[in-house]
Amino acid sequence: MGTRPVPEVNLFVDGQHQPAMNGGYFDRLDPSNDLVASHVACGRREDAEHMVAVATASFPAWSATQVEERAAILQRAKSLMPKYRDRFADCMLREIGATQEWVDFNIKVAIEAIDAAVDLAVFHQAKKCSAETASVPSQQSAFHQTKDSYIVRKPAGVCLAIAPWNAPIVLGMRAVVFPLAFGNTVILKASELSPGTHVLLAELLHEAGIPEGVIGAMTNASEHSEEVITSLISNPSVRRVNFTGSTRVGRIIAGIAAKHLKRCLLELGGKSPLIVLKDANLALAAKEAAYGAFLNQGQICMATDRIIVEQSIADEFIALVTDIAAQLVAGDPRRKGVKLGPVASPSVASRLSALIDDAVDKGATLLTGASRRGQFIDATLLDHITPMMRIYSEECFGPIAGIYRVDSPEEAITVANNCEYGLAAALFTKDLPFAETLANQLESGICHINGATVKDDPYMPFGGLKSSGYGRFGSDACVDEFTEVRWITVNRQT
């Protein structure tokens, strides 16, 4: 039986796969077996500059394309997703150890993101607001009697999209499809951990009919990320930046963007709380807590890091969720029945092990997850979390959930909000009016009542508060992220 060749991943520029100008490559290793998953082009500053030049040259024609034509191209991209499914699955398996469940989730929501972006762009095409329909009443306008006065939206220009590795298809597609639908050209800065998957997205969009130069994909080794990203953001032709990733890196990107007066959308870290009140459907809450905590090994920005449960029903609830978690044993997703794959890298595994050990050393009870094998970490539940433990405040981003016992709904809200992050939250109770009252007290951009913290709808505004970032993908809230608003008046008394 022959050895399978290692896929070569190059930059995607001007409709073609091209090596980096310096000819360099780096290897991305398969987290399940440490074999080389992909041989990846090492883009540098000169490649970034060239990619911006290509995107800039392509912008006038693409921005002038009728929105219906752009929509038709993106709908063709949607129709190509099934054709690319096996290639996406292979890339995600090799690069990030993705299970088939996670691949299918990514493809499903990526298709929904295409629909949402197309619908939003068509709705806002060449939109004019007369003085009578503008936000300022016409009688307050000095122009309403002698001039037409209206607002138009125009594409912003070249957009930089920096996508993460953990959900490479859906978050990669989300990062590029909204700006593309509005008539922008886009450079996708691929993650160093999922470069092949991200470049494949650009290839799919090009096959669908996105013209040469309108979509590009940049790959680079991790040691060159700062050089490449700084070059891209600081380039005068790049007008918008969207980044999904860690809060630490998001702060760096926000600083560079601020220096160059670039608007950026930041979807950053999270430590989502799931609150279980004493009247909740405990079986449902346990099922949704386990789903939110352990899907994709917990490597999701909205993963359930914190399970906050009222003391009076804590033991009963914990028994239910422990039964579910105990069945989630990590392994190579190539094996039949494996629901939990490896974490992304050895450094991630070491950090997670340190969080677990710190909590146990300081009094937490390890309910599940005693076995850790390299990058394979079983679903881990820790009970009796206290503020002295690192896990109380640090984002896990792995298959770990801490259980916090509280005496009242009011204390649950206090504990939930006692966190620097504010992306997603969930709460479980049968008292829906009370649930809505509590939801409005939670400091999060998203809240789900009687549902998991992990939920995605590209038609809805997605983003967080506090250290989880600012700006929104989806819905009317994202229109300003990828367009410029202009005011035009016409004096007809000439």
Q: Are residues 41 and 151 in the same domain?
A: yes
Task: Return the closest-CA partner of residue 474 out of 109, 168, 17.
Answer: 109
Give domain status of residue 1, yes or no.
Answer: no
What confidence tens digit (pLDDT) does each residue in 31-53 have?
999 999 999 999 999 999 999 99
Q: Are residues 385 and 312 in the same domain?
A: yes
pLDDT of residue 152: 84
What confidence tens digit (pLDDT) does each residue in 379-420 have?
999 999 999 999 999 999 999 999 999 999 999 999 999 999
Residue 125 pLDDT > 90, yes or no? no
How far apart, in whole angstroms, are the C-alpha atoms of residue 179 and residue 408? 45
78 HSE (CA, 13 A, CB side): 20
Q: How many residues does the chain have?
A: 494
pLDDT band at 147 (very low <50, low <70, confident <90, very high): low
Token digits of residue 434? 């009370």
**Active site members:** 267, 301
Amino acid, single-letter form, for residue 478:
C
Give domain status of residue 476, yes or no.
Answer: yes
Residue whose token pair is 């092990």:
353
pLDDT of residue 149: 83
Greater confidence (146 vs 26) lies with 26
What average pLDDT does range 56-79 have in this prediction? 98
Chain centroid, CA 278 distance in Å? 33
What average pLDDT does range 237-264 have in this prediction? 98
Q: Is 162:185 a contact under the CB 8 Å cutoff?
A: no
Residue 304 pLDDT > 60, yes or no? yes
Q: Are residues 157 and 114 in the same domain?
A: yes
Mean pLDDT of the chain: 94
Greater confidence (494 vs 470) lies with 470
What confidence tens digit (pLDDT) does each residue in 426-453 have?
999 999 999 999 999 999 999 999 999 9
Residue whose token pair is 């809240």:
447
Give domain status of residue 156, yes or no.
Answer: yes
Centre a 10 Å sphere on the Cβ of residue 1 and count the other Cβ atoms it contains.
Answer: 3
Give domain status of residue 107, yes or no.
Answer: yes
Query: Residue 412 is part of which domain span?
Result: 272-460
Q: What is the CATH number of the domain that holds 108?
A: 3.40.605.10
Amino acid, single-letter form, for residue 225:
S
What confidence tens digit (pLDDT) does each residue in 223-234 have?
999 999 999 999
Any idea of the CA torsion for 455, 457, 462, 464, to the nearest 10 degrees?
-10
pLDDT of residue 370: 80
Residue 146 pLDDT > 80, yes or no? no
How far apart, in whole angstroms, are the C-alpha atoms of residue 382 and residue 318? 10
Q: Are residues 318 and 278 in the same domain?
A: yes
Residue 132 pLDDT > 50, yes or no? no
Q: Are residues 33 and 106 in the same domain?
A: yes
Q: Are residues 229 and 103 in the same domain?
A: yes
pLDDT of residue 440: 98
What confidence tens digit (pLDDT) does each residue in 254-302 have?
999 999 999 999 999 999 999 999 999 999 999 999 999 999 999 999 9
Residue whose token pair is 């000095």:
142
Task: Return the closest-CA partner of residue 243 out of 254, 231, 232, 227.
Answer: 254
Residue 78 has φ and ψ, to the nearest 5°, of: -60, -40
Q: Are residues 103 and 230 in the same domain?
A: yes
CA torsion sign, 429 to 434 to 439 to 441? negative
Q: Are residues 253 and 389 in the same domain?
A: no
Task: Return the closest-CA partner of residue 173 out of 242, 235, 238.
Answer: 242
Chain centroid, CA 10 distance in Å? 23
pLDDT of residue 490: 87
pLDDT of residue 145: 44
Q: Are residues 207 and 261 in the same domain?
A: yes
Amino acid, single-letter form, for residue 338:
V
Give domain status of residue 492, yes or no.
Answer: no
Q: Is 309:403 a contact under the CB 8 Å cutoff?
A: yes
Collapse the DSSP code of 280 into the 3-class scheme (helix H, G, I; strand E, B; otherwise coil) and give the result.
coil
Residue 19 pLDDT > 80, yes or no? yes
Give domain status of residue 3, yes or no.
Answer: no
Residue whose token pair is 């009317």:
476
Centre a 10 Å sphere on the Cβ of residue 267 and count the other Cβ atoms it contains.
Answer: 27
Residue 140 pLDDT > 70, yes or no? no
Proportion of the chain above pLDDT 90, given as a percent: 90
Q: Is 289:401 a contact under the CB 8 Å cutoff?
A: yes
- What's the pTM value of the predicted model, to 2 decimals? 0.94
In what side-by-side order are the strands of the sheet with 446-449? 365-368, 380-383, 400-406, 304-310, 272-276, 424-428, 446-449
Q: What is the CATH number of the domain that holds 395?
A: 3.40.309.10
Residue 191 pLDDT > 90, yes or no? yes
Q: Are residues 133 and 263 in the same domain?
A: yes
Q: Are residues 185 and 306 in the same domain?
A: no
Helix residue ranges, H only, 147-261: 168-181, 195-208, 225-234, 247-259
Q: Is 320:335 a contact under the CB 8 Å cutoff?
A: no
Collapse the DSSP code of 124 into the 3-class scheme (helix H, G, I; strand E, B; otherwise coil) and give the result.
coil
Give domain status of residue 212, yes or no.
Answer: yes
Give domain status of residue 493, yes or no.
Answer: no
Collapse the DSSP code of 397 into the 3-class scheme (helix H, G, I; strand E, B; otherwise coil) and give the result.
coil
Collapse the DSSP code of 158 into the 3-class scheme (helix H, G, I; strand E, B; otherwise coil) and give the result.
strand
What average pLDDT does range 488-492 have in this prediction? 84
Please state which of the ranges 1-5, 215-219, 426-430 shows the lowest mean pLDDT: 1-5
Mapped to the 3 state alphabet, what secondary structure does 64-109 carry?
HCCHHHHHHHHHHHHHHHHHHHHHHHHHHHHHHCCCHHHHHHHHHH
Collapse the DSSP code of 57 into the 3-class scheme (helix H, G, I; strand E, B; otherwise coil) and give the result.
helix
Q: Are residues 299 and 232 in the same domain?
A: no
DSSP 194-216: SHHHHHHHHHHHHHHTPPTTTEE
The count of structural domains within the chain is 2
